[in-house]
Amino acid sequence: MRDAVIVDAVRTPIGKGRASGALHDIHPADLLARSLTALIERTGIDPEIVDDVIAGCVTQLGEQALNIGRTALLGAGFPDSVAATTVDRQCGSSQQAVHFAAHTIMAGGYDIAIACGVESMSRVPMGSDTPEGTDVYGSLFDKRYSDGIPHQGVGAELIAAKWDMSRNQLDEFALSSHEKAHTATTSGAFENELIKMDELSQDEGIRVGGTLESMGNLAPVFYDEDAAKLYPQLKWIVTAGSASQVSDASCAMLITTSEVAKKLGLPIRARIHSASVAGDDPVYRLTALIPATHKVLKRSGLSISDIGAFEISEAFSPVPLAWQIETGADLTKVNQRGGAIALGHPVGASGARLMTTLLNTMEATGSRYGLQAMCEGGGVSNATIIELVS
């Protein structure tokens, strides 16, 4: 079987997902086109030889509807002959785009593909595709889960309670995310992955100067009277400070085989070593990255100690903390440049954004193997291991 290698990966700075955010005035298709254009310019390839563009996007409604991957590539000036599709695996959508691209290349279906992602949460708000009163589950699902599926914030509270986490633990983790992201920004660690934009030069959501005292003044944001009755064990300790930020961004990654890369004179930065997906209890919503990690490690033949860098979804502080407890990973190797709590979580773009940051972190630290795992709506997860190519 052929291999699948990463030639290059780029992303936009991450803007705040609100009307005052720096990227709000950019149409989401144009936002994705920015990353596609930058990727072509950096690699120097002729876009005509790209077999497919696979884009992740979660809220495929309004400006993000009608296969935004295809719209964006045409806006970026790609030839009419280049195909595209848009996929939704919730927060792992663009990580799934990487999996689809890599696996199809390994199987011989493509020679060159672009995996990418976009979400403009300021222009197409999360949840706008499910208006109030919409039945998204159906009667059979409702019969199986008669108590219903709680909001993801309640899922985060369930995780915090199950793993007996304290408010201080959540707040300390969140503060660390901002500190690491600030250090990475000021040191120039993100420079190689960021594209140049007049609207925004660095990630907009990073905050400095926070303390446990200031974090302690934040009120819990997900308290729900019905959930409190149904789950009396909840401590209600998740705040806006320990939750990821809604955001706007895009990213793009060029994937091919090592043989094709050498033939075209393209650099090879890493190879896709192993990939897996897994499901877990949809009531907890956010824990599937734990079995997905175990699954990808088993598939790879590696152990957790072989991994030199991790990018783990920071949807809420309890998610990576529970993951660390169950996997035994070294927390100092997790999200070394901060995560979604500080940088933001542009859901359709987050999967490939994490992989882009993971790749650059591995190169900077000399880590041979890196592992990424995302928690995703519906209680599922993608996990991927990439390996540096020296």
Catalytic residue among 91, 99, 251, 273: 91
Side-chain half-sphere of 356: how many Cα atoms within 13 Å?
A: 29
Cβ atoms 388, 367 nearer than 8 A: yes
Residues 6+ apart with CB under 8 A from 257: 2, 3, 4, 5, 105, 111
Element containing residue 93 per DSSP (H, E):
helix 93-107
For residue 269, the one-letter residue type is R
Active-site annotation holds for 345: yes
Exposure string of 335-364, with b = 16+ CB inside 10 Å and e = fewer, is bbbbbbbbbbbbbbbbbbbbbbbbbbbbee
Active-site annotation holds for 116: no
Element containing residue 116 per DSSP (H, E):
strand 112-120
Catalytic residue among 57, 116, 251, 375: 375
Element containing residue 255 per DSSP (H, E):
strand 247-256
Structure token digits, residue 84: 């595209």
Q: Are strands 5-11 and 247-256 parallel, antiparallel or unpaired?
A: antiparallel
- For 119, the 3-state DSSP assignment is strand
**Cα separation of 23 and 44, whole Å?**
26
Angle between helix 28-43 and 68-75 (nearest 10): 60
* Ordered alpha helix ranges (H), 231-366: 258-264, 289-300, 318-327, 340-343, 347-365
Residues 6+ apart with CB under 8 A from 78: 36, 40, 47, 48, 50, 53
Active-site annotation holds for 24: no
**Cα separation of 362 and 366, whole Å?**
6
Side-chain half-sphere of 354: how many Cα atoms within 13 Å?
A: 39
Q: Are strands 380-388 and 270-279 parallel, antiparallel or unpaired?
A: antiparallel
Cα-based torsion angle of the residue sequence 291, 292, 297, 299 in order, rounded to the nearest 10 degrees? 110
Catalytic residues: 91, 345, 375
